[in-house]
Structure 1
Amino acid sequence: MKMKKILILICSVFALNAGRAQDWHLSMYDAAPMYLNPAMTGVVEGEWRIHAHYRNQWNSVNFKPFNTGLISFDAPVGNWGFGGQIINYRAGIGNYNALQGLASVAYTIPLNKKRSHVITMGVQGGVTQKKVEYQLLTFNNQYTTQNGGGFDSNMPSNESFGGQSFITPDLNAGILYYYARQQSRLNPFVGFSAFNLLEPQESWFGSSNKLPMRFYIHAGTRINITETIYLIPKALWMQQSTFNELTLACDAGFYLKGSEVYVLGGLTYRNKDAFIATIGAKKANYIAKFSYDTNLSQLTPASNGRGGIEISFTYMHQKKDKKKVKVCPQL
């Protein structure tokens, strides 16, 4: 059974590489706003916002699973928004690691005097360092049939790596429309973002291999059912090269007047990939959420349905003069 799991995992990885799969992404994608769309930089109901995010994936089938860590900070300054984020991805027995640092700026354009119809535009720029410890990897050339067969680490792998790390530039951009009249029954929003605009060359062997652009379209609406209950049905469409993915979700919030806490929950379906359940809470300036992926892809026989966990934490520092707080999308 263990060998069956290994074979399924190996075949899946090769299939993804052949298809030039999408960049890694998050299940609670809009919990990390600048990761979703640079236009959301500085769209904060307060003086500033700090966000932390962690994801652990494929722990059930991989000795060293995929781990994603993210931390971001942003703040509004008039109609401008400024921020930055650091993301680190780590996976595999070769300690493959991608460290990305980005700075973001966005500009808000109110479409009416009441600032209820709003468009924001944003851009991100930075660098990504990718590295791997290929000395920890094993190759078929290091297996011998002599003396009964086996693995010999002293045998040459006959693989020629151009180096253990390289750095590529990053440039991303996005636009977002939202309706921010808080007393309204509906608060719709729609956004578009594009990543890897420079299509940088990335290769361990010095060959020509461009990282394709990645595109997001995200949309939804907050529905204020009552003064204490709301729903947010939403959708996310992602495309990178020939790969595309559709995510459908619905978030919900219930306000507990006695404790002044919003109880949060949500269900998400990522087409042919995963079913995700989310729980969390919001109190004053703090938001904490947890999600769990149930795997529905071709890896299900190996993973037994176990996908990944995510944890997110957000703190928004409120302005003392609430009359000057920026009106933001009710996500």
Structure 2
Amino acid sequence: MIIISKVVALRPNLKTMLENSTILTKRSFYWGVWMLICLLYSTQSSAQDPRFSQFYANPLQLNPAMIGAFEGQFRFTANYRDLYGSILANKPYRTMTAGIEIKSPVARRDFATFAISAMRDRAGESNFQRTRLNIGGSFMKQLDGGRFGRNGQFLVVGAQLGAGQRSYNWNDLWFTEQFDANTASVNYGADSGEAFERASTNIFLDFNAGLLWYALFDENMSVYLGGSMHHLNNPSISLLDNPMEKLPTKYVIHGGAELPFNDNLSFMPAVAFLSQGTSMSTTVGGNFRYRNRDWKELAIRAGLWGHVANKLDSGVGIDALIFTTILEMERWNLGISYDVTTSILSVANNSRGAFELSLIYVHPGGSRQYRVECPNF
């Protein structure tokens, strides 16, 4: 974790704070608290991974064993998350991921899959950026069931090896030594009193591994359970040549099911528990999936989710409600979700949290050998 010993403020908000310094309202107080939390996020979140509300639509970031868990030969996934754009309109916390998987049969009922994925995000006024590139693979073993995995069980083991880097733009921050109390202004040319040796970390190696089990009972009935460990090697992420500042291992347990009401309507509950360092969070909820056979390969999902996390002081609480809609087409899935803030931060951002998009494309392949039944995640 990067600790800045001085009080830091952000440039674009200084003028507004000074012009309104004689008017202290409850809302401006919460705004100040909000900006402090944004600063803490940009300095402390360096030791944590970004989170996605549509975790089930971001398989390569959730669990390496999700590599290859699709019905086809080739899969492309892309995700975009915009956090707190209502407050930080110019520089919200933006996270983007993309991944490609290619699957190949290695035995009559087993498959091997190769994957490559990338993640990049940028947070707030300090332009804190994280970049990561992973290559990975998985092996899928059919434990029982019929041909193409009908009414069967599967076990998947996966791993990823990657490289990452993190960076800040220190020029976008100012420190107490640069503030002139006589003129109530900031002298950006003055010495900040901070010795920043570099603006980016060394490129570090990263290793992830995971397991996934799933069972199929019918076309619209399945269950799955998975677990993964990320950053097993605890790479150093220090900007200050501090060998003790390492990226803590992230532990993930996730599971879900599809439970049919009838031929057209089913319910898809799911949960994901994440623990990394001192941070713990759980996203739980479900989508209703409606499919009319007259629509052929078209289906629609809609659902509600809750995000529970440990608070800054103590205890746990629900900090967001997540509304989701997903459109399924023959080869495409397009998802959209919105996080409504329910914690005390809702006073500052009017409950407007994160906006998220997901896109999945699956190519079925030209041969029946690529056909293997998988759950609807």
Q: Please tell me the TM-score bracket, short chain as reference.
A: over 0.9
The match for 1:263 among 280, 292, 300 is 300
Three-state SS of the structure 2 residue aligned to 1:190 is strand
The RMSD of aligned alpha carbons is 2.0
The match for 1:198 among 208, 226, 233 is 233
Runs of 4+ in 1 over 6 A off after TM superposition: 18-21
In the other structure, the counterpart of 2:139 is 107
Instruction: Give the aligned residue type for 1:135.
Output: N
In the other structure, the counterpart of 1:4 is 29
For residues 145 and 321 of structure 2, the distance between their equivalents in structure 1, rounded to whole angstroms, comes to: 42
Instruction: Give the aligned residue type for 1:38.
Output: P
For residues 47 and 169 of structure 2, the distance between their equivalents in structure 1, rounded to whole angstroms, comes to: 22
Instruction: Give the aligned residue type for 1:9.
Output: W
For residues 237 and 40 of structure 2, the distance between their equivalents in structure 1, rounded to whole angstroms, comes to: 19
* Matched residues, number: 329
Query: Residues 178 and 293 of structure 1: is their aligned pair in 2 closer, same or farther, counting only changes over 3 Å?
Result: same
Q: How far has the Cα of 1:328 moved from its partner? A: 1.6
In the other structure, the counterpart of 1:211 is 247
> TM-score, normalising length from structure 2?
0.82
The match for 2:281 among 245, 259, 262 is 245
For residues 310 and 150 of structure 1, the distance between their equivalents in structure 2, rounded to whole angstroms, comes to: 38
Matches within 5 A, 1:151-300: 151-166=186-201, 167-183=203-219, 186-207=221-242, 208-260=244-296, 261-271=298-308, 272-300=318-346
Three-state SS of the structure 2 residue aligned to 1:111 is strand
**Cα offsets for 1:40-76 (capped at 9, x unmatched):** 1112211101011111001122241100111111121
In the other structure, the counterpart of 2:97 is 70
Q: Does 1:129 align with 2:165?
A: yes
In the other structure, the counterpart of 2:7 is none
Three-state SS of the structure 1 residue aligned to 2:174 is coil
In the other structure, the counterpart of 1:61 is 87
Matches within 5 A, 1:38-49: 38-49=64-75
Matches within 5 A, 1:144-155: 144-146=180-182, 148-155=183-190
Q: Does 1:81 align with 2:135?
A: no
Query: Residues 154 and 10 of structure 1: is their aligned pair in 2 closer, same or farther, counting only changes over 3 Å?
Result: same
Q: Which runs of 5+ in 1 are unaligned?
A: none
Query: Residues 9 and 21 of structure 1: is their aligned pair in 2 closer, same or farther, counting only changes over 3 Å?
Result: farther
Three-state SS of the structure 2 residue aligned to 1:45 is coil
Three-state SS of the structure 2 residue aligned to 1:273 is strand
Q: How far has the Cα of 1:182 moved from its partner? A: 3.2
Instruction: Give the aligned residue type for 2:188.
Output: S
Q: Which runs of 5+ in 2 are unaligned?
A: 1-24, 106-110, 309-317
In the other structure, the counterpart of 1:28 is 54
Three-state SS of the structure 1 residue aligned to 2:294 is coil
**Cα offsets for 1:218-255 (capped at 9, x unmatched):** 01211122222111111111111222112111112111
Q: How far has the Cα of 1:186 moved from its partner? A: 3.5
When structure 1 is superposed on structure 2, of 150-159 and 8-17 the one drifting more is 8-17
When structure 1 is superposed on structure 2, of 86-95 and 6-15 the one drifting more is 6-15
CA contact (8 A) 2:71 2:370 kept: no
Q: How far has the Cα of 1:22 moved from its partner? A: 3.8
CA contact (8 A) 1:161 1:205 kept: yes
Q: How far has the Cα of 1:322 moved from its partner? A: 4.1
Q: How far has the Cα of 1:198 moved from its partner? A: 1.0
Query: Residues 19 and 113 of structure 1: is their aligned pair in 2 closer, same or farther, counting only changes over 3 Å?
Result: closer
